[in-house]
Amino acid sequence: MKIQDTLSNIEQELDISKNVKIYLCGVTVYDESHIGHARTIIVFDVLRKYLENKGIGIELIQNFTDVDDKIINRAQAENSTAEEISTKYIENYFKDFDGLNVKRATNYPKATEHIDDIIKFIEKLIEKGTAYTSKNGVYFSVSKFPGYGKLSKKKTDELQSGSRIAVDEQKKDPLDFAVWKFSDTEPTWDSPWGKGRPGWHIECSAMSVKYLGENFDIHGGGRDLIFPHHENEIAQSESCTNSQFAKIWMHVGMVTIDGEKMSKSTGNVKSIKHVLENWGPNIIRLFCLSGHYSKPIDYSEELLKENLTKWRQVETCHYELVHANNENSEEITQMIKKLGIDFDNSLDNDFNTHLALSAFFQLVKETNKLAADEKLGKNNADEIKKELKRMQEILGLLIPEITDSEKEEIDELIKNREEYRKEKQFEKADKIRDKLNEMNIELIDHKNRTIWMKKERIKSQ
């Protein structure tokens, strides 16, 4: 599998001979998560599910930044504590992402629970002479790390001249960034240098090394983290360990609205909760995977609606397979195999989920075609089900479950309807159909049989 690496700017082969170790920058827990967060995390969710499907072990570490100015500000505004705020939004996070059918990461380390590791990390940096203490805190000395700027392709002299940061005269160099900030505002921790809290970038360096070792396979996050966050992580980590940090840097493009980045400051955010209520997890996932992960995607109701149409096709396909009982069977082994290979090849080639989805929908379409032609035999159905299920699991698409008692009720109603139809009592027959519709059961009248499907309830329809 090849993945485009932001650092080298070429496609790098992912080493799958052993467990694949992934560090994904998570969210700062001071507010609700939005669709932009969802996209990044869904992309990595599909990546890990794909690799797991191949039998490859995955270690996925995703942090929570739970100490940060924004959290503290929010706590003050709400007359609460930072811990209460972060706890609340971590709970909120899991609610959102469980709802999106995202598999839990191996571990979700929090910055506040790794203060010791962070302090040890800083101590090493100071020992090596790449960090220094000043009146306001401990700073990383950018000039001590010759590779600074290699990820974001920025030159340090240009950064300085274009810098709009208010210069802190305590810093030796305006580019230096804090790894420890002195502060008396809670939360604070004692450190060898003074009471305070860690800077933002240091937590990821410390925790990734702790959980994944000095060199791991993939470091991911949104494109907006390239600078300064990831650039600074590289500087800290490589200064500390003297070895290459992540092997592949994988960055996910932004979700935009009307071409503008979705962000809190712009105020154009769509919260996961809101979109989930209106569209459900499957459509959101299809939407997030509809373009190449590295490119931006524009959020719009139209695109969600398009994905709703596609999702209905998947549901139809699913139930055609469930109800398949035709005697005829076509020779379809080759077709299934080919689409399965197309699917995998697409993902192997820089994780092209759009093309993988094409293969998936082709299989859906082929199935529906067979069903329409009354050629979907039971053997065919079993064969297709297996591959379709594999793809669905990787993509994280879920067909709503149905209980046995529901089934019995539906079958009974359909039987009644059939009798009315035979007697040409269509009004009564239609009443039953309406009743089923209310239960979100849709009927499909084939030539000599009627099948049903349970449709996912989509509010925005």
Partner RNA sequence: GGUACUCUGGCAGAACGGUUAUGCGUGAGCCUGCAAAGCUUAUACAAGGGGGUUCGACUCCCUCGGGUACCUCCA
Q: Is 291 in the site for RNA (CB under 7 A)?
A: yes
> Whole-angstrom Cα distance, residue 284 to residue 280?
7
Q: How far is the CB of 242 from RNA (least distance, A)?
A: 25
Q: Out of 92, 215, 290, 440, which residue is the one contacting RNA (CB under 7 A)?
A: 290
Closer to RNA by CB, 239 or 256: give it.
256
Q: What phi and psi, each to the nearest 5 degrees, are found at residue 80?
A: -130, -175
Tell me the closest approach of the beta carbon of residue 33 to RNA, in angstroms.
8
Structure tokens at 299: 């959020």
Binding mask of the shown chain, residues 216 to 255, with x at each position contacting RNA by CB under 7 A: -----xxxxxxxxx----------------------xxxx
Nearer to RNA, 19 or 87 (CB): 87
State yes or no: residue 164 binds RNA (CB under 7 A): yes
Among 133-141, 188-196, 208-216, 422-430, which window interacts with RNA (CB under 7 A)?
A: 422-430
DSSP letter for each residue of 407-444: HHHHHHHHHHHHHHHHTT-HHHHHHHHHHHHHTTEEEE
Nearest Cα to Cα of residue 112 among 178, 187, 62, 24? 187
Asked if 26 interacts with RNA (CB under 7 A), we say yes
Looking only at residues 89 through 148 of this chain, which bind RNA when binding is defined by CB under 7 A?
none
* SS3 category, 64: strand
The 10 Å CB-count burial string (b at 16+, else e) for 388-419 is beebbebbbbebeebeeeeeeebeebbeebee
Please give the residues from 199 up to 218 whose contact with RNA meets the rule CB under 7 A. 200
Burial profile 61-92: b = 16 or more Cβ within 10 angstroms, e = fewer: bbbbbbbbeebbebbeeeeeebeebbebbbeb
> Does residue 433 belong to the site contacting RNA (CB under 7 A)?
yes
Q: Are strands 196-198 and 177-182 parallel, antiparallel or unpaired?
A: antiparallel
Q: How far is the CB of 17 from RNA (least distance, A)?
A: 22
Closest to RNA by CB, 48 or 223: 223
Q: Hey, which residues between 297 and 336 contact RNA (CB under 7 A)? A: 297-298, 302-303, 305-306, 309-310, 312-313, 316
Minimum distance between the CB of residue 247 and RNA, rounded to whole angstroms? Answer: 18
Cα distance between residue 178 and residue 255, in whole Å: 29
- Identity of the residue numbered 169: E
* Contacting RNA within 37-96 (CB under 7 A): 37, 39-40, 65, 68, 70
- With respect to RNA, which residue has the nearer C-beta, 327 or 427? 427
